[in-house]
Amino acid sequence: MFLNQLSRRLVVSLALLASLLSLGGCHRNEHAASSVPVDTASSPAAQSCADHFVGGDAPQLTNPKLSVQTQQLCFKLFSVMDSGVTRTPLWSAEHLEAANLAAAQQLSRENSFHPEDRLPPGQRAELSDYARSGFDRGHMAPNGDMPDRESQHDSFSLANMVPQNGENNRHLWASIEGAVRKMAKREGDLYVVTGPAFLGSELQRVGNVLVPTHLYKLVWSPRQKAGAAWFVENSADAKPNVIPIPELERIIGINLLPALSEQEKERMLDLPEVRVNAGRRRATGD
């Protein structure tokens, strides 16, 4: 009943999204050269955009209302689909590899939140949108996954951020991110797709950026050929609900793993138990 109610509420919320900002066309763009200095001796090789996706196929927006003012951006170690309506990513995809995570663990955090200059000013989030909003700038592709300064800087692009409840971001969500990293080290590699959901008829906004009602993190294991997703409310007291991939795709209106059949997506991956207290030791958001 919980998931069916969310699916029905999605129809209402998508209509509201389309009316909040003016309409525009869809377009894509590849990763521009980074202005961040790179230590080529220690920096991992950049993945191609296709490397970020299972089978090389990027997620597909199955609900046409989501396609308004969208632009796909390719970064060194992850890709996002940015929405000029929500001024957030609709999804952020990464291929986690154990070697990169080992390097990331040794890298100190350097905050470098910045607007994404590849997006039109009228369709992107700005630092001023989040100022004094009461929300964290929550990473979708986490800073803690990034093994070098260039990819770390990429992760602080506002095109990779959503307004996130601070308690959620620093505790439950940080624990989910940490659990995925541990799993990737054990599995060798994982494909992960993370993003927001905007459900219901009463959506909040900070500046020009819409606040998601829910967040999701999909995990696919190539070794086990199975996957599953966390789907949580964007609130301080959220619980870590685990759902099948096809159910998540129906709720959000996105085919997250188009290279896989419905039968392949149905095979459930046993996601690790999330211990919320672990998130208090290290926050990965704002």
231-243 in b/e form (b: 16+ CB < 10 A) is: bbbbeeebebebb
Q: Work out whether strand 70-74 and strand 27-28 pair parallel, antiparallel, or are unpaired.
A: parallel
Tokens coding 50: 């296709």
Please identify which of the residues 52, 139, 153, 214 carries the catalytic annotation. Answer: 139
Query: What is the phi/psi pair of residue 104, to 5°?
Result: -60, -35
Query: What is the phi/psi pair of residue 245, to 5°?
Result: -60, -45
Angle (deg, nearest 10), helices 98-105 and 174-187: 130
Asked whether the beta carbons of 169 and 283 are under 8 A apart, the reply is yes
Rounded CA separation 49/56 (Å): 8
Cα distances (angstroms) measured from residue 82 to each of 170, 176, 194, 200: 24, 23, 13, 21
Catalytic status, residue 139: yes
Strand intervals (E) in 147-188? 161-164
Residues known to be catalytic: 139
